[in-house]
Structure 1
Amino acid sequence: MTQRKRNRTVRNAAVVGVSTALLGITAPVTATASAAEPSTPGPLAWSACEGAGLDPRQECATLEVPMDYADPGGPRIEMAVSRIRSEKPGAQRGALLLIPGGPGGSSLGDPSGKGQKLPQQVRDTHDLIGFAPRGLAPSTPVDCGLEYGDLATSKVRPWPAPDGSIGGNLDTARRMADACAANGGELIRHLGTANEARDIDRLRAALGEEKISAWGVSYGTYVGAVYAQLFPRRTDRIVLDSNDDPDHTRVARAWLAGHEQGVEDVFPEFAAWASEPGNPDRVARRAADVRPLFLRLAARLDREPIPWPGANPEELNGNVLRQTMLDSLYSPDDFPALAKLMRAALRGTVPPAPEAPPEEVLQNVTAVGAGVLCNDVAMPRTAAEYREDVAESRAAYPLTAGMPRNAMLCAAWPYPPREAPVRITDRGPSNVLLVQNRRDVATPLSGARKLREALGRRAVMVTVDSTGHDAYLANGNACGDATVSRFLATGQRPDADVSCH
């Protein structure tokens, strides 16, 4: 599995899958950096990293941070960090932090992975820094002890029943929230985006950097934006890639709802590919036929699931097909997975069961996602609002069948937020560059435009005429890559928003 696909697997396991709907917060305020500043951390003790496939130059260390920033003298937790030093120390400018997606993603291996795709000038002038966010192993981990069946992506994401009912989703939310309350310990109450940003600033200080640059991807764009809001004068060059809607009154609910438009943006690209003559995975003769074929097949599998030994769940039903569709639209490289599954199901068969991460990993990732998303903002707790939203969504967006507006784990979360969500504003230095694909299933262009609007004069945005989640050095194009690389290497940023075709 490639690093990009491994990161995507982690995201699909928990990130949006543990978000839900929320209640608006009256008179939101911008959060402060901390209630009481903890003492400056000492220098990090770097040593060889454990694990296979890493660049031999990569070093690892452990940073202690307060579990509760409102009580900086209280219990502490560990944060695993990594680095590859500047390749030209005499030209070093500072450190470039690689902020992972998720919540539930790690960038611990990224200095050895995607960091090596960066242009030479960036690798010459910056230490590349990765980390495992709080709660995620090998940092001090959390675990909800969930039932194995509840770790299935098609269960974690709230796909309604075939008839649109959501009672089963509410039951799942209560069961999972109860497990997190029973098994997550005190740490799960202190997960959240603002605390991750505070951890990043502790890392910056431990690195001895007055300011830090960052490349945040997906959920990492929200982390990066929150960091830049809380610590604006400690930022150097900030790249936000594949951007989340920053609506502080909705947070994860807005991200999940974005899948409706994201699927509509990307599915036509899949349909065109899946109808090309000569494509061994072709599913229809015309692009116009692919969408109705998919909808008919999903409805048939709702009625007549196909046994699928070794999968979780052990059947191919309509919602498993829909979840596979959502996963496969993350990158054109993944289109064949959906086409192969459709072709098999049309014959009444299934392919080999997909390989899943170890259960220990899924438990940890799902718990981190739950803690972050559910602690960031309060969510609605009554069924009526979800029922209305799901019915409206199913009518307007049949491909996603109401899932993006349904009740998930946070609908039954037992803990109220400890602070108001951070409101992203235009106050701070103008040193942010957004890069965004036009067709992105997970973080659609519509949400990126809202982040661009919120940042105002602080940012410019590069819109790339490409398909896929992750733009820079992944699913983007040469024009967008060159623009971002120039900014990271030299600080030169376009004077205004630009489009790359």
Structure 2
Amino acid sequence: MNRIASAAAVISLSTALVATGAPAAAHAAPAWTSCGTAAGLDPRQECTTLQVPLTYGRPGGGTISLAVSRIRTARPGLRRGVLLLIPGGPGSPGLSRPSAMAQRLPGAVLDRYDLVGFDPRGVGRSSPVSCGLAHDDLAPTLLKPYPSADGGIERNAAWSRRIADACARNGGPVLRSISTRTEARDIDAIRRALGEQRLSYWGVSYGTYAGAVYATMFPGRTDRVVLDSNDDPDPDKVARAWLANYSVGVDDRFPDFAAWAAARDGEFGLGADAAAVRRTFLDLAERLDRAPIPWPGANPARLDGAVLRETMLNALYSDAGFPALAGLMRAALGPGPLPAPSTAPDEAMQNAAASAAATLCNDVEWPSSLDAHRRLVARDRAAHPLTAGMPVNIGPCAYWPYRPAEAPVRVTAKGPSNVLLVQNLRDPATPYSGALRMREAFGSRARMVAVDSGGHGSYLVNGNACGDDAVTAFLVAGERPARDIVCG
């Protein structure tokens, strides 16, 4: 994650006006300054800091800082407005996204929009939160709760209670304020500060749910809405459904890796066909469950079955991850040494873990029954051995000390028909089956462009001209397909 220099100026937004949605009062425009010269930043990117309410609807309840960035269009005469880039996660920063997207978006899109990014509250430079977790508790195979080798979940339950207690002790009022409803209100505060009557945006992954919630809470303030790699918006489950969908998504996507590896059997030795590669993976994961291999520098410092499964899940996000997964499997099969691990710094993991947990747990209530989770894990391990029960396992939300302040949003068809969903058919994290439920919820408001491709992220990611052209045409000219389409 790029370090972004702090902005020099702060503007004030009226708490009461933002909370009630009353007509905008006159206020000073944001004071934009350089974001600095960190690697990867476009020199045109500017930064500012907004003050937004800690708790909307509670005047006098204090404010927090929200970091915002932009790259203005080079052709003001063609400018339509703002294209807000809503990051995923939850817990992912977005302040540097205008720089990244300025290198990828077609010129016709860049001509018509100021690209605007932001770090969601609690993330990055926006009043960041931390639960003060120990290094060992930041292991990715705990943050995604992989059961023990025998399927037991007692270790996960103890970890979950420890994390919930730490967040209650160290998270503070910002952590308690985080939710998707609040992010939608923060997005509207950004819109108001920029002086825009309506907002176009491109949300990716969790950003699709945040974007869908905004489009539901503030339908009249939306212009052109692109939701890419869509979460299931089930209001009864919310993030519980997202996590459970990993089982389906990995099953959808793994055959792509298996076919790729089989075509390179001479290089990696994982199997001559896709079925053989799958057997190799499952057998290796079970072997590592029984006899982990030391892996200095990793967290945990061993390659066990859970670490292999988590490495696999991350590799499936993009075809670019296939060689590293195949290389790790080849090394683990012996006799070669393991590759150097890629371990995120604790500081970044602290912030991501705290902000993600706050969103997941503050949005909806979670079941706490240990016996119920045991049954779910046992069934899921049998039905989806690649993920071994992780997607339905117990987590910190089962012991979360705060109840949701508001009910989850129910996404509906009420509002303008200005939403375009774009979705890979084989997405490991937000599977097509869940995206269809987002499509159903929006009804006549939306069209869907499905892309016959694998990986997480669709627009400008897969090289699929049909899908990319459909999204570009919508952003540039407002043109959507007359009906849902599948791009081969």
Residue of structure 1 in register with 2:386 after alignment: 399
- Residue 361 of structure 1: how far off its partner (Å): 1.3
Residue type of the alignment partner of 2:308:
L
Does 2:138 correspond to 1:151?
yes
- Residue 353 of structure 1: how far off its partner (Å): 3.3
Does 2:22 correspond to 1:48?
no
Structure possessing the higher relative contact order (Cα contacts under 8 Å, 6 or more residues apart)? 1
Alignment of 1:463-474 (within 5 A): 463-474=450-461
Does 2:317 correspond to 1:306?
no
Aligned mate of 2:307, from 320, 328, 337: 320
Q: CA separation in 1, counterparts of 2:28 and 2:436?
A: 40
**TM-score, with structure 2 as normaliser:** 0.94
Residue type of the alignment partner of 1:89:
P
1:226–1:424 contact (8 Å) kept in structure 2 = yes
- 1:117 aligns to what SS in structure 2? coil
Residue of structure 2 in register with 1:345 after alignment: 332
More deviation, 280-289/407-416: 280-289
Q: CA separation in 1, counterparts of 2:82 and 2:342?
A: 36
- Residue 152 of structure 1: how far off its partner (Å): 1.2
Aligned mate of 2:83, from 75, 93, 96: 96
- 2:47 aligns to what SS in structure 1? strand
- 1:310 aligns to what SS in structure 2? coil
Residue of structure 2 in register with 1:254 after alignment: 241
Residue of structure 2 in register with 1:16 after alignment: none
More deviation, 354-363/285-294: 354-363
1:173–1:411 contact (8 Å) kept in structure 2 = yes
Aligned mate of 1:214, from 201, 205, 228: 201
Residue type of the alignment partner of 2:203:
G
Q: CA RMSD in A?
A: 1.7
Deviations 1:41-73 (A, max 9, x none): 642110000333211111000011001013133
- 2:470 aligns to what SS in structure 1? helix
1:435–1:480 contact (8 Å) kept in structure 2 = yes
1:306–1:350 contact (8 Å) kept in structure 2 = no
- Residue 110 of structure 1: how far off its partner (Å): 1.2
1:37–1:72 contact (8 Å) kept in structure 2 = no
2:295–2:341 contact (8 Å) kept in structure 1 = no
Identity %, equivalent residues: 58
Alignment of 1:122-133 (within 5 A): 122-133=109-120
Alignment of 1:346-425 (within 5 A): 346-347=333-334, 350-425=337-412
Q: CA separation in 1, counterparts of 2:412 and 2:378?
A: 34
Alignment of 1:33-44 (within 5 A): 36-37=20-21, 42-44=28-30
Does 2:220 correspond to 1:233?
yes
Residue of structure 1 in register with 2:484 after alignment: 497
- 1:140 aligns to what SS in structure 2? coil
- Residue 355 of structure 1: how far off its partner (Å): 2.6
- Residue 91 of structure 1: how far off its partner (Å): 1.4
1:437–1:476 contact (8 Å) kept in structure 2 = no
Residue of structure 2 in register with 1:334 after alignment: 321
Aligned mate of 2:96, from 84, 91, 109: 109
Residue type of the alignment partner of 2:299:
N
Q: How many residues align?
A: 472
- Residue 135 of structure 1: how far off its partner (Å): 0.4
Q: CA separation in 1, counterparts of 2:276 and 2:39?
A: 45
- 1:103 aligns to what SS in structure 2? coil
Does 2:149 correspond to 1:165?
no
Aligned mate of 1:435, from 407, 422, 434: 422
- 2:267 aligns to what SS in structure 1? coil
Alignment of 1:282-293 (within 5 A): 282-293=269-280
Aligned mate of 2:121, from 134, 144, 150: 134
Residue type of the alignment partner of 1:55:
D
Q: CA separation in 2, counterparts of 1:494 and 1:37?
A: 33
2:317–2:427 contact (8 Å) kept in structure 1 = yes
Deviations 1:418-463 (A, max 9, x none): 0000110010000000000011000000000000000000000001
Deviations 1:246-297 (A, max 9, x none): 0011011100111111111111111100011476345222222011111111
Q: CA separation in 2, counterparts of 1:288 and 1:100?
A: 36
Does 2:466 correspond to 1:479?
yes
Residue of structure 1 in register with 2:171 after alignment: 184
Q: CA separation in 2, counterparts of 1:318 and 1:291?
A: 14
Aligned mate of 1:73, from 56, 60, 67: 60
Q: CA separation in 2, counterparts of 1:278 and 1:293?
A: 12
- Residue 115 of structure 1: how far off its partner (Å): 3.3
2:129–2:174 contact (8 Å) kept in structure 1 = yes
Residue of structure 2 in register with 1:23 after alignment: none
User: Mind listing any 5+ residue stretches in structure 1 that lack a counterpart?
Assistant: 7-32
